[in-house]
Chains A and B, each alone.
Chain A
Amino acid sequence: MTLDREHLEYPQRHYGMDHDRYEWSLLSERTNISWPGNKPLALWVNVCLQFYPLNQKGIPFAVPGGMTMPYPDLRHFTLRDYGNRVGIYRLLRALDQCGVRASFAINSALVERIPQLLRTITSRGDEILGHGVHMDALHYGGQEEAEERELVAGCLQTLRDASGQAVTGWLSPARNESERTPELLVEHGVEYFCDWVNDDMPYPFHTSNGELWAMPLSSELEDRFVLMDNLHSEQSWLEQVSDACDYLLDEAQRSGSGRILALNLHPWLLGQPHRIGKLEEALAYIAAKDGVWSAPPREILAAFNRQHP
């Protein structure tokens, strides 16, 4: 039994990363950042508004949260739809109660299917992010470039036309990308994306079409991961969010540099009657802290950029 020689060769074994997308950097060694009003902690809540097609193709994999039963999987289709009909309105009320200004990552297919939902969001003045065409239109390694370009261009065009916003942020469906997703995003006017979760702060991400900002949107704290993947209780999700808030506030104060608490939420999960109360408690807990600045990602990035020319 022997492996090919390449298994004992390490061409990328050198200083820094094993790719050229971004520089290696310890968070603890970076320049201090301060947020408006000298608040130590920026709160970024992102809400995902998603369409999961009944006729899911699952290329190259079945999207987490999508259909799992033989066709027609009415239970998952309607449970996801519940989020857009009922759950989102509970989330909006919860956000408003605590004065939290969230961003909304939207599948463009949802805008075409139910334009009134997008109007509700944009009439509030809330920032929207591109979230791909729908949850079964994944970006993936080995995908045809023309096919992926159409997904990026089509999504952004629909959202920009319908919202009147520039739409400069992006979250890929299932956070999945091809090798060239970052290039295509820059090509279509995206300035920051949220798929990579390797930091708690924004950092520059290199593409052959110019710079992009990575705005890490924590996946380990998101409701889908905690409640659906890990099957933790709603109470535990609340505790995890509270503990993260306390820790980041404390670290910001000790280090003298602002931090970001990023929460990614799904109305089809937290919008359920037995869960919404925990979101309300979590937001109330955070909002009651003195040192918290709630802002959408574009504003957080702008504040960051003013200190990082």
Chain B
Amino acid sequence: MQEDPGYYDYWPWQGRPRITWPGGARIAFWVAPNIEFYELNPPANPHRKAWPQPHPAIAGYSIRDYGNRVGHVRQMEVLDRYGIRGSISLSTALCDHHPEIIRMCVERDWEFFSHGIYNTRYTYGMSETQEREMILDSMATIEKHTGKKCAGFLAPALSHSDHTIDLFAEAGGVYTCDLFHDDQPTPIRVRNGQRFVSVPYSLEMNDTIAYVVNKVEPRRYGQMLKDNFDRLYQEGADSGTVMCIPTHNYQVSCPHRLKAFEEALEYITGHSDVWVTTGLEIAEYYLAHHYDAAVADIAQQQERPRQ
């Protein structure tokens, strides 16, 4: 175990090279619906229990199934209304279980990135070879069912190893959603030295963190989304920022929570100079236009203390 994962160097928010977004936008805004499959009776990972109670864990399983049966279409209709293409964090076994959902998202030209095979299979305890097999399987599944290469990764149930990000980069990955250190994309150091980035995927705006962990009231969640946007939009006038809303179709799509979510989307997309986009489009634009300047500036800043 190491004291620091070593993916990036300290880089102060002030004084960075200016980021610009397409069309002069101040902020890149993306929504990342997690579309997950939780198994009713998964093999028990020795380091983390999938369910709190003995099998069958109906409470946890059935509300997640609600997300797929009922919630997904609701959220999709709301995103359609505001011209938002989702960037799906996908339990890739869902391609087999619920291909109807995949087809609807392919028709809308949504992006799919890997969130592992099942959200009840954790990386904890896997050998490097096993984790590589899981990552490659998930990426191949996305390509097979959507016709597009998987470019992004969010570890299943946020279960990581020291190798997760390196393995994904080596498998041809472009960006990670697993790091929460910044409000702009940043270069990420991976062991094979390739160009690789982190795209901000906010844990603070994540509906499950808000509703389940922090137990936020729905209308307050809507206000948090607006406040988060306001500040990032304001600062984006100086240098482009990124706002992400990670969602779950069993949280934000419940009938008592959709109104607050929709009002926030209406507010955000009602502003000018908002680039409504996807995770991969942000990563590609950043790699093409800002990555090199960022790497150079970071290197220069690291040298200063040694002078």
Contacts and interface: CB of A to CB of B under 8 A. Distances in A.
A58 B73 CA distance: 39
B237 interface: no
B53 A2 contact: no
B45 interface: yes
Chain A, interface size category, equals 35 or more
Given A10-B93, A27-B69, A239-B219, A1 B55 contact: no
Interface stretch (A13-21, A82-90, A120-128, A301-309): A13-21
Contact of A13 (B62, B96, B256, B257): B96
Contacts, number: 152
Interface in B260-306: 260
A197 B71 CA distance: 12
Interface string B15-47: 000000000000000000000010111010110
A232 interface: yes
A69 interface: no
B217 A236 contact: yes
B97 A1 contact: no
Contacts of A31: none
Interface residues of B, number: 52
Contact of A6 (B43, B70, B74): B43
Contacts of B189: none
B256 A244 contact: yes
B258 interface: yes
A8 B69 CA distance: 26
Contacts of A236: 217-219
B96 A200 contact: no
A26 interface: yes
Contacts of B72: 26
Nearest to B262: A247
Interface stretch (B119-127, B175-183, B191-199, B225-233): B119-127
A104 B255 CA distance: 24
Contact of A247 (B64, B69, B256): B256
A204 interface: no
Contacts of B100: 26, 29
B218 A243 contact: yes
Contacts of B64: 198
Interface stretch (A71-79, A151-159, A173-181): A173-181
B63 interface: yes
B54 A7 contact: no
B258 to A, nearest CB: 5
Nearest to A243: B259
A141 B217 contact: no
17 contacts: A3-B130, A7-B125, A8-B133, A13-B93, A18-B41, A19-B41, A24-B98, A141-B56, A142-B54, A195-B62, A197-B63, A216-B62, A233-B217, A236-B217, A244-B255, A244-B256, A247-B255
Given A2-B127, A141-B56, A236-B217, 20 more contacts: A6-B43, A7-B45, A8-B133, A12-B39, A13-B93, A16-B97, A26-B72, A27-B70, A27-B73, A60-B53, A61-B53, A141-B53, A175-B59, A176-B53, A197-B59, A198-B61, A198-B62, A218-B254, A239-B218, A243-B218
Interface of A: 1-4, 6-8, 10, 12-19, 24-29, 60-61, 140-142, 175-179, 195-200, 216, 218-221, 229-233, 236, 239-241, 243-244, 246-248, 251, 261
